Amino acid sequence: MVNCLNPDCQKPVNPDLDQQCQCCGRSPNLLRHRYKILKPIGQGGFGKTYLAEDIDNFHELCVVKQLICPTQDQQIEKKLQLFLREAQQLQKLKQNPQVPSLLAYFEDNQHPYLVQEFVDGQNLQEELEQNGIFNEDKIRLVLLDLLPILQDIHEQNIVHRDLKPVNIMRRFADQHLVLIDFGIAKQDSFSKMMQSGTILGTEGFAPLEQFIDGKVCPASDLFSLGVCCFNLLTGIYPDHLKHLQGYAWVNEWQKHLPQPISQDLAAIIDKLLRIKICDRFTSADEVLAALAPGSLKYGNNDLTLPTTNWPTAISTHISSHYRQSSVSLPSTALEPFSYEGLEVDPQGKFMTRTQYLGQRFLEDLGNDFIEMVAIPAGQFWMGSADHDPQRYGDEGPQHRVSIAPFYLGRVLITQAQWQQIMGNNPSSFQDPKRPVEQVSWIDVVEFCQRLSHRTGRPYRLPSEAEWEYACRAGTTTPFQFGASITSDLANFDSNQAHDSGPQGQYRKQTTEVGCFPANAFGLYDMAGNLWEWCQDTWHSSYQNAPNNGSAWEEDDSSYRVLRGGAWIYSARYCRSAARYYVSQDCSNFYIGFRIALSTLASEGVV
């Protein structure tokens, strides 16, 4: 079926082969000879939104927005300006993978159109209605995912002006949040739009300065973000409270909470909801800093480390993963080391314990050293299979990759090691034996450069392919330890069990490096603890990815790949194939790194 684009058509759906609309007589042919309109998916005071197919791009789904401009409309010029502004804003934000890309902007049959990327997912309002109110951990994850988007748009002098759960989509492919509806706020069945003078926004979510005279700044979006948190925590639509109490409701919002939240999160939301601009956070980065455990007390600092009474009545052997001849690297400084690996069944119970023999060298820093493990050459299937029920859409297509031998840090770079090279410690969880966090990709590259200059060896970040190869260490199961994972094997949010695995402990902070079992290559913390920076720029699939293990980089992208999961994320993100991304200038308390090296021989490093 094809949809007629006449805004006044009462029965717009027509058979594919019809040359004229059966209702209004207008031709329902392809828009601009390219876009086949499938069905309407939204309508507001400014126009209609359609799901469409781009027949020139393998029938890829896209979204077509049509501006309706009746000749008698006194606000036609303003609507045209806002529609054009939305297209310009989308174009300006094209590098951000959490903002739908602008594909086209044009006029056809006296109606302006913009075409943008289709986001397959559901908005947070739908998620709220389907699954019920959000708990504190889920709100924190929403903030951690959404705040970097807001920081990016605010740095480009864009204020969204209509932040609300229906404009925040959770993309099915990777579970990332996507911010939609820039420039023109779509009217939906749940809200009324304010269109007085220059005012745009949704009543109940818009701050006082926006509601009174239309003035906005980044802090205006932050107020709306606070209202979103309130709405998701309580299920109460703020429009009702505003009608009863005006903006006074924000001073006593906590009395509506159906369950208590921690004092630190309450303090953050409270500051987001301040009526006066000068009393709010000034930037999204400032909110992220407040979320960091070092800024406000976060949870309980009492750690319970994994149990060490591993089963003993199981066989051991020396693994063939490490044959000395297979590691074709200079070996004069290498030393053998032995370690133990574990395998678990789908219920998370231990099946086998294996003794391995590996090779390593120690990079002396003076008061500390970095342990580098020799990773042998090999081939593996990168990504996850289509039939894997836990996979995200960005983990395919699965493809075979060849990896040259290289070295990889046995553990994440610690705070003590960072302090030695960089002279500071930005971490939220201060402890010299814990991994350093709050470091951006740019910071990490500088660390590698300084370390290279000091040692004469060209240290770098691993490519994404190298990272997954080293994580899997010869396994093809979802996790490096087998079909499941438990909180005795890694540091992650194990409040929710993975498939048939057991529920475990959520530690709510990082742990010391090396306190969980190693994988079959002798590497620690490849699952959980901290997300790890890779060299690659972000790509939403492996289509046309290199198969030689090299980093896949694009000059026009500033988003970098993260791997491995983190203490604040669920088991699903600890799978060997799971991927994530953030802007390369983003630093946070769930991101760290380990270093790689292609050759042991010293080279001239500038």
216: in domain? yes
Q: Is the dihedral of CA 59, 50, 396, 596 positive or negative?
A: positive
Considering only CA atoms, which of 353, 377, 373 is closest in space to residue 362? 373
Considering only CA atoms, which of 64, 33, 66 is closest in space to residue 47? 66
Looking at the fold, whether 64 and 152 belong to one and the same domain comes out as no
Q: Which residues pair with 364 in a beta bridge?
A: 369
Region 76-93 average pLDDT: 82
Distance in angstroms (rounded) separating the CA atoms of residues 113 and 47: 10
Looking at the fold, whether 142 and 260 belong to one and the same domain comes out as yes
For 464, the token pair is: 């994404």
**Inter-axis angle of helices 124-131 and 218-234, to 10 degrees?**
10
Please identify which of the residues 162, 181, 188, 394 carries the catalytic annotation: 162
Distance in angstroms (rounded) separating the CA atoms of residues 162 and 82: 13
Is residue 162 part of the annotated active site? The answer reads yes
CATH number of the structural domain spanning residue 460: 3.90.1580.10
Region 218-242 average pLDDT: 94
Distance in angstroms (rounded) separating the CA atoms of residues 392 and 192: 35
316: in domain? no
Considering only 131-145, 243-257, 298-312, which range has the smallest mean pLDDT? 298-312
Q: In this structure, how many other beta carbons lie within 10 angstroms of the beta carbon of residue 250?
A: 23
Give SS3 for 271. Answer: helix
pLDDT digit string, tens, across residues 3-30:
776 666 767 776 766 667 767 656 666 8
Which residues have C-beta within 8 Å of that of residue 213, sequence separation ≥ 6? Answer: 197, 198, 199
Considering only CA atoms, which of 553, 604, 564, 560 is closest in space to residue 583? 560
Tally of domains within the chain:
3
Considering only CA atoms, which of 169, 164, 208, 155 is closest in space to residue 185? 164
344: in domain? no
Please, which pLDDT band fits residue 557 given cuts at 50, 70 and 90?
Answer: confident
Considering only 52-66, 344-358, 390-404, 452-466, which range has the smallest mean pLDDT? 344-358
Considering only 244-258, 346-360, 361-375, 381-395, which range has the smallest mean pLDDT? 346-360
Distance in angstroms (rounded) separating the CA atoms of residues 596 and 516: 21
Looking at the fold, whether 106 and 146 belong to one and the same domain comes out as no
Region 515-523 average pLDDT: 95
**Greater confidence, 606 or 97?**
97
354: in domain? no
Looking at the fold, whether 382 and 504 belong to one and the same domain comes out as yes
Q: Are 384 and 577 in contact (CB under 8 A)?
A: yes
Does 183 score more than 60 pLDDT?
Answer: no
Please, which pLDDT band fits residue 197 given cuts at 50, 70 and 90?
Answer: very low
**Is the omega angle on the peptide bond into residue 397 within 30 degrees of 0, that is, cis?**
yes
Residue where a domain stops, chosen among 100, 117, 134: 117
Considering only CA atoms, which of 403, 326, 361, 337 is closest in space to residue 601? 361
Looking at the fold, whether 159 and 188 belong to one and the same domain comes out as yes
Average of per-residue pLDDT values in the chain:
85
135: in domain? yes
pLDDT digit string, tens, across residues 305-317:
444 333 222 223 3
Looking at the fold, whether 85 and 169 belong to one and the same domain comes out as no
The predicted pLDDT at position 15 comes to 73
Distance in angstroms (rounded) separating the CA atoms of residues 583 and 559: 4
339: in domain? no
Looking at the fold, whether 573 and 486 belong to one and the same domain comes out as yes
**Greater confidence, 213 or 576?**
576
Looking at the fold, whether 270 and 409 belong to one and the same domain comes out as no
Residue where a domain stops, chosen among 77, 98, 117: 117
Looking at the fold, whether 505 and 588 belong to one and the same domain comes out as yes
Please, which pLDDT band fits residue 79 given cuts at 50, 70 and 90?
Answer: confident
Considering only CA atoms, which of 561, 482, 559, 547 is closest in space to residue 519? 482
CATH number of the structural domain spanning residue 49: 3.30.200.20
Domain span at residue 65 reads 2-117
Residue where a domain stops, chosen among 275, 291, 307: 291
Q: Is 504 exposed, middle or buried (0-12, 13-18, 19+ CB in 10 A)?
A: buried
Distance in angstroms (rounded) separating the CA atoms of residues 102 and 113: 11
Looking at the fold, whether 418 and 567 belong to one and the same domain comes out as yes
333: in domain? no
104: in domain? yes
Looking at the fold, whether 127 and 111 belong to one and the same domain comes out as no
The predicted pLDDT at position 294 comes to 53
The predicted pLDDT at position 295 comes to 52
The answer to whether the annotation marks 65 as part of a ligand binding site is yes
Looking at the fold, whether 206 and 110 belong to one and the same domain comes out as no
The predicted pLDDT at position 524 comes to 97
Does 413 score more than 80 pLDDT?
Answer: yes
CATH number of the structural domain spanning residue 253: 1.10.510.10
Which residues have C-beta within 8 Å of that of residue 563, sequence separation ≥ 6? Answer: 464, 467, 468, 471, 531, 532, 534, 578, 579, 580
